[in-house]
A and B are shown apart, each in its own frame.
Chain A
Amino acid sequence: MYVYYYTFRSMTAAMTAAGKLKNRGINLRPIRSPEPLRKRGCGFCIRIPEAQFSPSVQESLRGLYEKRYGYGNGEWREFSL
């Protein structure tokens, strides 16, 4: 299963993004970032399984997240903004 990870510069930004997703009927809480995404130490991200992902989800998070990553088949990939 492919999973998207959106990282944020603060818990507040992550909570704001979670609120946007909730308005779209997607209930996901921020989580602590996994090690490959912790570029400056501890951080917060939202993990979105591929089944819940869509271009409109991506659009609703625009301007809120710092970086977007994908994880699948044991590999991490960083997407461009």
Chain B
Amino acid sequence: MIYLDSAATTLRKPEAVYQGVLRTMRRCSGVGRGGHEAAMRAAEVVHACRVEAGRLFDAEPEQVVFTMNATHGLNIAIRSLCRPGMSVAISGYEHNAVTRPLYAMGARLMIAGRELFRPEHAIEQFKLALDRGAELVVCTCCSNVFGYILPVQEIGALCRKRNVPFILDASQAAGSLPVSLRNSGAAFIAMPGHKGLYGPQGTGILLCGSVGEPLLYGGTGGQSAQQQMPSVLPDRLEAGTHNVCGIGGLLEGLRYVRRRGVQRIRQKEQQLLTVLCRELSAMEKIQLFRGPEQSGVLSLRVKGRDCEEVAQVLAEQGVACRAGLHCAPLAHESAGTAPGGTVRLSVSDGNTEQEIRQFLRICKKIL
């Protein structure tokens, strides 16, 4: 299979990730649920993962909260900071993981920066939204549909200047773009474990610049005689037994990213994207969505063909990619690709140039 759907989930993980899951499942029980060897091994694995994540994202271990995925983290962050009727500025490229919780909270949305691959426009629009009274800002580092890298450093600086809390969705950035809790000044940064961090599905991290409000209430292994959730992180936001096996795998994924280097991973993805774009742009039926600052995600449309049909034909040829709205209808509305959507190709460090060339041969044959 030529796997070009890493923006959803990276399929090929480093071998150590598979081994990490297996080793943890065999040797570890629950964190803080006993003083015995299996519980202490679990505590050590989970703590090691917090330390590793803290190193990669400039955070203290206590600021690293484990979640099920980025959506879970974003729900905690949004529910912690958003109140019904609050004015919330978001980019025109947010995922449903951001827009649906905001909608459910009854937030008044201010869409800032709808123009694709125009970061300077996004900065102006966020500034305008803040001037007009935005009380909270939620922004993705990078569009999951188009790979458009948003100017989150600048947007974060605008928020800090006005003392407005800032939530960062690093779903498409973690592992391939620099992400720093300390430098961003964000109240929260949410990310999945199963994409660019090469961890298993069902893992995620919420980096906490603020304490936050629990989404789930329950046992934490400590302070058990009191009925309120503990006031300290990470326990406050981590009710119930952890996904220790998943975290054991995520630990190895994080170690891989740190050893390999975020910059080198980005370079590799950019090389693959360049090869893809060079060949695809020469095919007259294909419309590419390309920008100067783009992650390893590329959207395209084929003239006269439904994107789902294109993805299905590619799947029959052994190519895994994703078509449709990618759970981000707002991004398609902004870019003018709604309601049909696009075909999305997304690469990871696990892809090779050979695979890309094979994919291009298939495209030339069937498109």
Interface, chain A (partner B; CB < 8 A): 9-13, 15-16, 19, 29-32, 38, 40-44
Contact = CB atoms under 8 A, between A and B. Distances in A.
Contacts of B43: 11, 15, 30
Interface residues of B, number: 24
B286 to A, nearest CB: 50
A44 B222 contact: yes
Of B44, B50, B223, most buried by chain A (CB within 10 Å of CB) is B223
B230 interface: yes
A12 B225 contact: no
A16 B43 CA distance: 11
Contacts of A31: 35
Contact of B61 (A9, A16, A32, A38): A16
Q: Is the interface of B mostly helix, strand, loop or mixed?
A: loop
Interface in B215-239: 220-226, 230, 232-235
Nearest to B35: A32
B178 interface: no
Given A19-B51, A30-B43, A42-B221, A12 B226 contact: no
A11 B32 contact: yes
A29 B40 contact: yes
B258 interface: no
Interface of B: 31-32, 34-35, 40, 43-44, 47, 50-51, 61-62, 220-226, 230, 232-235
Contact of A16 (B62, B222, B226, B232): B62
A1 B234 CA distance: 35
A43 to B, nearest CB: 5
B34 A12 contact: no
B304 to A, nearest CB: 56
A41 B225 contact: yes
B67 to A, nearest CB: 15
Contacts of A11: 31-32, 43, 47, 221-222, 235
Going nearest first, the 8 A-B pairs with the smallest beta carbon separation are A41-B225, A41-B224, A15-B47, A32-B35, A11-B32, A40-B223, A42-B224, A9-B232
B230 A10 contact: yes
B232 A13 contact: yes
A43 B222 contact: yes
17 contacts: A9-B222, A9-B223, A9-B230, A10-B220, A10-B234, A10-B235, A11-B31, A12-B47, A12-B62, A15-B47, A29-B40, A30-B43, A31-B35, A40-B224, A40-B225, A43-B223, A44-B32
